[in-house]
Amino acid sequence: MEMFYKLLLIFFFYSFMGWLIESTCKLIELRRFVNRGFLTGPICPIYGVGGVIILLTLSKYNNDPVVLYFMSIVIAAILEYFTSFAMEKIFKNRWWDYSNWKFNINGRICLETMIPFGFLSLLMIYIVNPCLLNAISLMNYNIMRITAITLSLLTIIDIIISFNIIITLENVSNSLRTDSTEVITKKVRNILHSKTILHRRLIESFPNMQIFNKSVVIKRKINKQKEKLKRQKLKNKGKIKKVEKKKKNK
């Protein structure tokens, strides 16, 4: 169990550091503080998950910084892509979008944001991790356990609060009778700005968020089916032409 608590503390440390990095970048960009992240508290769990995965999987490559760099980018890219995909499927919203950035994949990840993660991973592995692991190893086991459990409980409460806010967002979007993502996003933003500070924080944290409703989801499914049928017809048409060509050659 001791190792489990250590990993939990490492997760929370990097989740906080990720939140700090994201919030600082927004502070520089907007010249005002924005509480970044999906959760209300000062953590970005995707950074914590990434930190733990890199620690567990890439430590054996400590002697090869080039391999570490590129492997870290691969891990970060897969993690961000999967997180974006999963959150869109669960909440029916696109939380961030890199479609206007160069070298992006489906707007979920892009090369420009991945490159810095490689350097951050080198900093983490060679400088931060040794100090962090040493500090955690010096902690009394009971203090370590209590700290890890307390932070976990606070995070669970935060998740419940955040999910309730998301449910409000989903209810508002589904009440709108339109299948235009742009119109839905604009109207939901205006409505949420008039609600609590927690609702406004979510909108400010994800300025590029695209909000869908049931109509949009249904429309997308229908369009996908149409495209699939169209491709199948073209494929069948191509097969018929090949058969006719063979008959003529005979």
Give the pLDDT confidence of 30-43 residue by residue, as tens digits.
Answer: 788 877 877 888 89
pLDDT at position 239 over 70: no
User: Do 43 and 37 contact (CB within 8 A), yes or no?
Assistant: yes
Give the pLDDT confidence score for residue 40 in this predicted structure. Answer: 83
What's the mean pLDDT in 118-127?
90
What's the mean pLDDT in 18-29?
87
Give the pLDDT confidence score for residue 204 in this predicted structure. Answer: 74
Cα–Cα separations (whole angstroms), residue 168 to 91, 191, 249: 11, 10, 66
| pLDDT digits 0-9 by tens, 76-95 | 999 999 988 888 887 777 77
What length does the chain have?
A: 250
User: Do 209 and 185 contact (CB within 8 A), yes or no?
Assistant: yes
DSSP secondary structure letter of residue 125: I
Bridge partners, 93 (sequence order)? 211
Mean of the per-residue pLDDT values for the chain?
A: 81
Beta strand 109-110 pairing with 104-105:
antiparallel
Spatial CA neighbour of 48 closest among 1, 22, 12: 12
Spatial CA neighbour of 98 closest among 86, 107, 111: 107
pLDDT at position 152 over 80: yes
